[in-house]
Amino acid sequence: MYKVVVIDDQPFVRDALVRTVNWERLQCCVVATASDGDEGKRVIMEHRPDLVISDIRLPGADGIELSEFIRKRLPDNQIILITGYQDFEYARRALKLGVIDFIVKPIKNAELEEAIRKAVQAIRISREKEKTLPGYEGHLFLSALRGEANGTEEFREHLRIRGFEGHPKLLLLGRRKEEVETEPFSLLDYVKDSPLLGSGRFLVLETHYEGCQALLAIASSKSASDPSSWTSLKRTIHEGLRDKLGVAFSLAASPMFTDLGDLPDMNSAAMAALQSLFFKPAETLAIATPVWHEPRTVLHESFLREIDAWLETADDDDSLSLDGLSRLLEQVERHADGDIQLAIAWLTEIFLSLVRYGIKSDRTGTETPMEDDVQSSLKQIARLRDMAEGRALLEGVVRQFNDKSRQAASGYSLIVRSVLSQIQTQYAENMTLTDLAERYRISSAYLSRLLKKETGHNFVDLLTKARIQAAKKWLADPAISVQQVASLVGYGDYSYFYQVFKKYEGISPSEVKKKPR
């Protein structure tokens, strides 16, 4: 029987999916349900189902984020998403993640059962492929990585039959720094043509585990303990990746070992080495040592006091010092001492301190930050790939804070100040009055009247003026064409940009471009 998890935030829909489908006839059984995306992640990792059926709109992690989560951890899992007609942009993104089917509301049992049959067939085909030697060995490798006793013993017996049991081994973990929505990153794709790997000196297996590609190299003989062989192997893989990816990857190697039962510990060591590259964005290779330390997860009170002291140094126009932030980040890097979780905890505390300070002092020129904005930023921090990315994110938050602080003295209401700030920073996006009104949970008619009353201009005029001002700055750059400027400021149609610009400025953008500087 194939294991199924059902996720929907509406209890009656969830119950109907569980009760009305003839699961036994479809060779399936529902092993768990969840009411939101975050709970869904937990039950998926607990039950490791073959099929997940989920609503695309969920509290917490939505169906897209859930699909990304599943693809990274259970790449052979099948996913069916339940969607509304208005969700087709979500559906397009989900297709890239390999979602096998969509069920459009209202749900019809016949359509759902047909989608389940399709998913079961895909699972069956995948299982058949696993029976081939590379797929089967990859499955055994993954079981041993997880520390599953039965899988480890089966893997050990398989290696004994192939003549590799008790031979020296090396584990390598690799990860791309860019998020890739399509196929999982494969280390072997970049180095499979290497003469060293084709020499017969190593058996090399690969699997996907906890967001990384794991490579297990096993020497062809028990006596192959020559350090130069292993150094050559690491160098071959590292240089192959570097030649094709530059510095857009991280690679870590475990200590050499022989007992397959040590594989989970070797994975922990290699993962710690891989995480150490978080603090060294320019480096791409880390070699683990046999020494491990328990991670530290306590925030020092002295550091919290330093955050408060920095926030209280805002100058006369309430601007926060980027130099002060830089000093805090240097302390994070120094005191975290290679512990990524501790570093992320401190970065999170800096961000939340900024949010609390803004609410407490009302210096941000906005209403209380929308919960979605805060949650989105927290998710970004949790997914940071290195300290450089964390620095850029927090510096962006501080700059936005300072911009809004300076606007706070303008006399506009909180909502109007926030809208003006969004127009000034997001003018190139496809922004509408309706979108902004929904963001602040007010009607578009009310927001339109408010803007007109306080600024003397309607929304379209404010957005157009922001775009025109930005366009004039871009036009001063001789390396950028007028057509490119139109696109940079949010106009997909050049002729329309030409008309609007000339209407507001009295001359065409081409004439501005030709003016001597």
Per-residue pLDDT of 456-510, as tens digits, reads: 889 999 999 989 988 888 888 777 888 888 988 989 888 889 999 988 888 888 8
pLDDT of residue 79: 93
Q: Where is pLDDT greater, at 362 or 79?
A: 79
Tokens of 428: 């190139």
On the question of pLDDT at 226 being above 60, the answer is: no
Judged by average pLDDT, the poorest of 204-213, 331-340, 446-455, 457-466 is 331-340
Maximum mean pLDDT: which of 41-45, 224-228, 330-334, 381-385: 41-45
- Could you give the CA distance from residue 36 to residue 11 in angstroms, rounded to a whole number? 11
Overall average pLDDT of the 439-460 stretch: 86
User: With contact defined as beta carbons under 8 Å apart, do 488 and 474 qualify?
Assistant: yes
Give the predicted TM-score (pTM) of the model: 0.41
On the question of pLDDT at 392 being above 50, the answer is: yes
User: With contact defined as beta carbons under 8 Å apart, do 97 and 64 qualify?
Assistant: yes
User: With contact defined as beta carbons under 8 Å apart, do 289 and 269 qualify?
Assistant: yes
Distance of CA 57 to the CA centre of its chain: 18
On the question of pLDDT at 299 being above 50, the answer is: no
- Could you give the CA distance from residue 34 to residue 262 in angstroms, rounded to a whole number? 35
On the question of pLDDT at 307 being above 60, the answer is: yes
Tokens of 515: 């003016």
**Model confidence pLDDT, tens digit, residues 155-199:** 888 888 777 777 888 888 888 765 443 445 567 766 666 665 555
Please give the domain boundaries of the chain with CATH numbers for all domains: 2-129 (3.40.50.2300), 133-287 (3.30.70), 301-410 (no CATH), 415-514 (1.10.10.60)
Q: Which of 188, 78, 180 is nearest to 141 (CA)?
A: 188
pLDDT of residue 366: 41
Helical H segments across 218-337, by residue range: 227-245, 263-276, 301-311, 322-336
Q: Where is pLDDT greater, at 14 or 282?
A: 14
Within 8 A by CB and 6+ apart from 330, the residues are none
User: With contact defined as beta carbons under 8 Å apart, do 395 and 322 qualify?
Assistant: yes
